[in-house]
Amino acid sequence: MSLRPPVESTVTATPTGKSFFGHPWGLSTLFLTEMWERFSYYGMKAILLYYMYYQVSRGGLGIDKGTATSLVSIYGAALYMSGIAGGWVADRLIGARRSITWGCVLIMCAHVALAIPNGGQSSLYISMILLVLGTGLLKPNITKNVGDLYKEGDDRRDAGFTLFVMGVQIGSFLAPVIIGDLLTSPDQSNPQGNHFHWGFGAAAVGMAIGLAQYLVRGRHTLGASGKRVPNPLEPHHRKRVFSSLLGGAVALAALIGVLIATGHFSADGVVNCVSVLAIAVPVVYFIIMLRSRKVTVKERSRVLAFIPLFIAMVIFWFVEEQQFSVMARYADQQTDLGAWGFHIDPTLIQTVNPVVMLALAPVLAALWTKARRQPTTPQKFAIGLVLTGIGFAVLFLPWMMGGASQLVNPAWPLVSLALIAIGELFVNPVSLSVTTQLAPAAYASQVVGLNYASDSAAQGLIAQVSKFYSSDSSGLYFGVTGALVALVGVGLWFYAPRVQRNMGHAAHE
């Protein structure tokens, strides 16, 4: 008897004759679900750092800037690290479809917790826990659902994931405009502004819309995709697993209680612990997959090929995710937001990435679909890293020319973020596509969760490295980091043929 579960059948467009820009009709449902989820997430994240470090009299929580910056990164690390657990729940317990549904519910509740006026830090931490659990259930499984829409070897796969990522970009563009600028308008000098709870409430409404359309449209467009549990736990194993989970939760709660009672519980301690976990968990998971008897020799080769791509993803996200922490502080404190004759809301700088992505993603999607010859997957990653590194290093120039005390023209962070966004086009959608191709059948959703864990590991690193950021040394911070990332990209380009050989026929030539 084979230990490998049967591969789930490919989903096609259920309504006869309907397609979504030449792709299966079910992609439209997942596109809209992801768009609204990202609207809620990026809307919350656009204002979260400011909500944490603005003074209480300005509607914030009054947390130290450095601590707030690290906490935002650790929040992101825990959130994406939970994707591995969410993939496990889908693979072993309830399937992808129900995981996505419950993920949406928890995310909505998380934003409701933040929207409660005068909730203070208690509401912040409750929201963090709910969002970590909800995102862990949703993100890996919705990506897995997209992959299920295409047969192995379908040339539309990369283009389909690029379209899917466009849904992400639409949501992430609307979020800072509606939630950040129109509803919240962060400004430390204006005690009448900063309606943070309105913004968090709008995030909750956005997730509710996404959940409703997923439940209504999913029945007609997704067929049976994601309903089957690929690798279910045996009945006699369920009790043991649930007992272990409950015991671990009780032990963790007891440990936290003891630390609080003895005065040893601190934000820095949480930051350090999560940083270590964010890096350790993916390493352990790779070891488990490589040693598993459920992974065939061919699949093991693909897992090995995924490791250098995973490292490249960590390096990319290490730069990209700093737009919500380090670069958000740079926009708020070191950028002349009135240089163009009118005030620019600092949250609007986060619209640069989605605007560039929306403008260029269709171009690359068409290119990957129609080109007879295109760069291999590892070569695309290499190009993305070089562009991303250059984008980050750009901010060394105004620091070198004007010094640390001079506010910079908004054009500088705009150019920086635009280059990073172009780099993302070569990494993010391609990484989603290649992950669904290289994942062993028994670990399908979990490997997609591992893909998101690359973001988690990156934010764990950011939480530590960002402690060295200051206004005085910002130029060196951006310049040195960017140069190192670009050099890694160059090295990956020369290593790409070996990675491609390990990937075998699963990746595009």
* Average pLDDT score, the chain: 85
Whether residue 7 has pLDDT greater than 60: no
The pLDDT assigned to 206 comes to 96
376: left (phi over 0), alpha (psi -120 to 50) or beta: beta
Which of 171 and 60 is assigned the larger pLDDT? 171
Whether residue 478 has pLDDT greater than 80: yes
If you average pLDDT over residues 113-134, what whole number do you get? 89
Whether residue 287 has pLDDT greater than 60: yes
Nearest of 219, 160, 230 to residue 8 by alpha carbon: 230
Which of 20 and 476 is assigned the larger pLDDT? 476
The pLDDT assigned to 17 comes to 56
Specify the range with the lowest mean pLDDT, choosing from 149-158, 198-207, 404-413, 423-432: 149-158
Residue 408: strand pairing partners: 335
Same fold, 20-232 and 266-508: yes
If you average pLDDT over residues 85-112, what whole number do you get? 91
If you average pLDDT over residues 443-449, what whole number do you get? 71
Nearest of 311, 266, 34 to residue 145 by alpha carbon: 34
Tens digit of pLDDT for each residue in 251-281?
877 877 777 777 766 777 878 888 898 899 8
* C-alpha separations of 136 from 141, 439, 453 in Å: 9, 18, 10
Q: Helix, strand, coil % (nearest 5) of the chain?
A: 75, 0, 20
Angle at 105 between CA 101 and CA 110, to 5 degrees: 145
Instruction: Please report, in angstroms and rounded to a whole number, the separation of the first and last CA atoms in the chain.
Output: 34
Whether residue 11 has pLDDT greater than 60: no
The pLDDT assigned to 80 comes to 82
Whether residue 175 has pLDDT greater than 80: yes
Whether residue 493 has pLDDT greater than 70: yes
- Which distant-in-sequence residues (6+ apart) come within 8 Å of 26 by Cβ? 11, 13, 14, 20, 145, 149, 221, 222, 223, 225
Which of 195 and 142 is assigned the larger pLDDT? 142
Whether residue 505 has pLDDT greater than 70: no
Which CATH class for the 266-508 domain? mainly alpha
Measured CA to CA, the distance from residue 112 to residue 119 in angstroms comes to 11
What band does 12 get if pLDDT is binned at 50, 70 and 90? very low
If you average pLDDT over residues 343-365, what whole number do you get? 85
Measured CA to CA, the distance from residue 167 to residue 313 in angstroms comes to 20
Measured CA to CA, the distance from residue 69 to residue 52 in angstroms comes to 9
Q: What is the CATH number of domain 20-232?
A: 1.20.1250.20
If you average pLDDT over residues 124-149, what whole number do you get? 88
CB 40 within 8 A of CB 207: yes
CB 65 within 8 A of CB 56: no
**Boundaries of every domain in the chain:** 20-232, 266-508
Tens digit of pLDDT for each residue in 385-399?
999 999 999 999 999
Q: What is the largest CA-CA distance in the chain?
A: 72
Whether residue 4 has pLDDT greater than 50: no
The pLDDT assigned to 145 comes to 85
What band does 507 get if pLDDT is binned at 50, 70 and 90? very low
What band does 193 get if pLDDT is binned at 50, 70 and 90? low
